[in-house]
């Protein structure tokens, strides 16, 4: 077990209280958002609150996709692998995000907890039944997946056409925007993932990520206090750099 974790070893163990959604203190956009009390109760009745420790693999690419999840605490990395071990992050998840969309009946990627996490777990079969009964829920899900698709397309632009510095700046800005949406202030952001995770997200190596961050630091555009945080000093400049305006 990785250091510091006091949570369950695997995603399937340690089902907590049969989570009444009131426990989800995430007020923002999540699957449950904007449902009627009645629908919420139905949804809650098929969900199980679980907790997983840092480093734990929550789902595995090619495993049978029996569960869907809603993240209620912590952060998660999603990735795909090539046969020779090369890795591509497909996203990072934070509270409110949804996990488990699949084609056919296998997961399309693996998911691992970056920190101790709290999740709301739904059996796929029962959720699908429920979707038929509760059109609002299906609509909500459709919106969430559509949003993810748009973000995926932005990421394709980044991966296919941006330079290393543009990639890194874009990444920092997207984290900043997300933080801002949730907390109001967005110039101090937390980086729960390591350099090589960032590299695999941006299609770069650890070394290039490190070098690029050092450059930004030297130019005074960002600061990196030793904890897992990062401060943006000049968001204008960062924005320009993110799209090659320099």
Partner DNA sequence: CGCGAGTTTGACAGTGGTCAACTAGCGTGG
Partner DNA sequence: CCACGCTAGTTGACCACTGTCAAACTCGCG
Q: How far is the CB of 196 from DNA (least distance, A)?
A: 5
Q: Which is nearer to DNA, 164 or 235 (CB)?
A: 164
Stretch that binds DNA, among 58-66, 67-75, 175-183, 196-204 (CB under 7 A): 196-204
Q: What is the DSSP string of the chain?
A: --TT--S-SSTTS-B-S---GGG----SSSTTTT--HHHHHHHHHT-EEEEE-TT-EEE-TTSB--EEEEEEES-EEEEEE-TTS-EEEEEEE-TT-EE--EETTEESSEEEESS-EEEEEEEHHHHHHHHHH-HHHHHHHHHHHHHHHHHHHHHHHHHHH--HHHHHHHHHHHHHHHHHHHHS--SEEE--S-HHHHHHHHT--HHHHHHHHHHHHHTTSEE--TTTEEEES-HHHHHHHHTT--
Residue 210 interaction partner, one of DNA, a second copy, none, beta carbon < 5-8 Å per kind: DNA
Binding mask 162-191 for a second copy (x = CB under 8 A): x-----------------------------
Residue 130 interacts with a second copy (CB under 8 A)? Answer: no
Give the binding site for a second copy (CB under 8 A): 80, 82-84, 86-88, 90, 101-103, 108-109, 131-132, 135, 138-139, 141-142, 145-157, 159-162, 200-203, 243-245
Give the binding site for DNA (CB under 7 A): 3-4, 163-165, 194-196, 203-211, 213-214, 224, 226-227
């Amino acid at each position: 077990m990785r250091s510091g974790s006091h949570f369950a070893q695997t995603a399937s163990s340690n089902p907590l209280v049969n989570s009444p959604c009131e426990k989800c203190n995430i007020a923002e956009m999540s699957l449950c958002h904007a449902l009627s009390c009645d629908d919420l109760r139905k949804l809650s009745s098929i969900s199980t609150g679980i907790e997983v420790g840092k480093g734990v693999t929550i789902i595995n690419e090619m495993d049978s996709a029996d569960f869907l999840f809603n993240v209620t605490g912590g952060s998660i990395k999603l990735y795909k692998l090539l046969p020779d071990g090369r890795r591509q992050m497909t996203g990072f998840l934070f509270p409110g995000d949804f996990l488990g969309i699949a084609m056919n009946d296998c997961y399309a990627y693996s998911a691992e907890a970056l920190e101790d996490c709290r999740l709301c777990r739904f059996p796929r079969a029962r959720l699908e039944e429920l979707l038929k009964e509760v059109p609002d829920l299906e609509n909500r899900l459709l919106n969430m997946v559509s949003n993810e698709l748009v973000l995926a397309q932005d990421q394709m632009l980044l991966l296919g056409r941006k330079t290393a510095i543009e990639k890194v700046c874009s990444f920092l800005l997207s984290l900043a925007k997300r933080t801002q949406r949730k907390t109001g202030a967005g110039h101090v952001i937390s980086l729960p993932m390591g350099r090589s995770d960032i590299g695999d997200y941006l299609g770069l190596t650890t070394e290039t990520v490190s070098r690029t961050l050092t450059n930004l630091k030297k130019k005074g555009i960002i600061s990196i206090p030793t904890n897992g945080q990062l401060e943006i000093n000049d968001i204008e400049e960062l924005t320009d750099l993110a799209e090659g305006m320099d």
